[in-house]
Amino acid sequence: MLLNIAAVITLAVTQQTDTTVPVRPGMRLDVDNFGGEVVVKAWNQNSVRVQATHSSRDRIDVEVGASTVSVKAESRRGIAQMVEYQISAPAWMNLNLHGVSTDIEVDGAQGAVTAETVNGEVKCRGGSGQVSLKSVQGAVRLQNAKGHVDVYSVSEGLTLENVSGDISAETVSGDISLEGIESASVEVSTVSGDVTYEGSIKDGAHYRFATHNGDVTVGIPERTNVTVSVATFNGDFDSSFPVSVTNTTKHRFSFTLGSGSGRLELETFNGDIRLRRPGQLHDKHHDDQEDH
């Protein structure tokens, strides 16, 4: 009975907004939300459709400027508290999405993407050029993107799949997993969490994977030309293929694979560093055997 009453009250105060505005190539979509969700899906029309579920006290403003489409909610009582956005936008459109207690999801973008929230997850499929995804309390996941990628979280993990371009990924507490990466510059660090990388190791390129508490596992393709620097204060190093260590200091050593033209830095204060061939990266059996 109580549930029924609650449902009736909810229906009574919830409102739907559905607005479509035309856009021109080069325009950017700005969305600002406090609580709820922002979902942006690409479509093949030169218009932006905004569907929003919100309180009847709130009003959704969709402003079309010379170079931007701005979407935000306003309330007679200050900030609109909860709005669920479902937005369709041209794939070419650059996206600038901000939230506080908001989950953000992007699907099919082909332009630049900025997505930042305080409390919520960020998921992005697609994106090119500048791709910047940040959350304080939420995991960040990026797939099928290319360009200059900057991914950040404070308390959750980061996952990147099929991403190409310069990559920077940083969290405080959480694992960082990168798979299917094509990059000549990768900088990855976490304080407490594991780091896993599977992707290209290119000639002349630079890769750095660092953690304080956690393991670092990197897939090294055959015929890779890279100079590897390994540093660990309290941990072991293990490679599934032979390496010949040349330079050794107390906490760091290095070795060269092939011509050594690329540079790979692997660092963990408390944890192990493992090199694997790409196919062995998720071979738990192999790692378990190593641990015993």
Partner 1 sequence: MNDTWTERLSEYIDGTLPDAERAALEAHLAGCTACRTTLDELRRVVARARALDDRPPAADLWPAIAEQIGVSSGAHHVVSLAERRTRRVTFTVPQLAAAAAVLLLLGSGGAYLALRRPPVEGGGAIAQRGPAADLTTSPVGWVQKTSSRYDAAVAELQSALEQGRASGRLDSATVRVLTQSLVTIDSAIVQARRALAADPGSAYLNQHLADTMRRKLELLRRASALAPART
Residues that bind partner 1 (CB under 8 A): 34, 79, 98, 100-101, 118-119, 136-137, 154-155, 172-173, 189, 191-192, 210, 212-213, 227, 229, 231, 233, 246-252, 254, 265, 267, 269-270
224 token code pair? 């890779």
For residue 105, the SS3 value is strand
**Residue 191: CB minimum distance to partner 1, A:** 5
- Which one, of 188, 113, 190, 105, lies nearest residue 156 by Cα? 190
Q: How near is the Cβ of 254 to partner 1 at its closest, in Å?
A: 7
Residue 79 CB, nearest distance to partner 1 (Å)?
Answer: 7
Minimum CB separation of residue 260 from partner 1 in Å reads 11
The DSSP bridge partners found for residue 130 are 148
Q: Return the number of the residue (91 or 154) whose C-beta is nearest partner 1.
A: 154
Residue 98 or residue 274: which is nearer to partner 1 going by CB?
A: 98
How far apart are CB 171 and partner 1 at their closest, in Å?
A: 9
Output 164 or 189, the one with its CB closest to partner 1: 189
> Please, what is the minimum distance in Å from the beta carbon of residue 229 to partner 1?
7
Nearer to partner 1, 153 or 159 (CB): 153
CA distance 197 to 195: 7
Nearest to 269 by CA among 251, 253, 254: 251
Burial class (CB in 10 A: 0-12, 13-18, 19+), 109: buried
| For partner 1, the closer CB: 41 or 252 | 252
Distance of alpha carbon 213 from the chain centroid: 21
CB-facing half-sphere around the CA of 128: CA atoms within 13 A: 7
Cβ atoms of residues 144 and 128 within 8 Å: no
Task: HSE, CB side, 13 Å, CA atoms: give it for residue 254.
Answer: 11
The residue (of 127 and 193) whose beta carbon lies closer to partner 1 is: 193
Report the C-alpha gap between 116 and 179 in whole angstroms. 23
Q: How far is the CB of 216 from partner 1 (least distance, A)?
A: 13
113 versus 231: smaller Cβ distance to partner 1 = 231
Task: Count the alpha carbons within 13 Å of 14 in the hemisphere toward its beta carbon.
Answer: 12
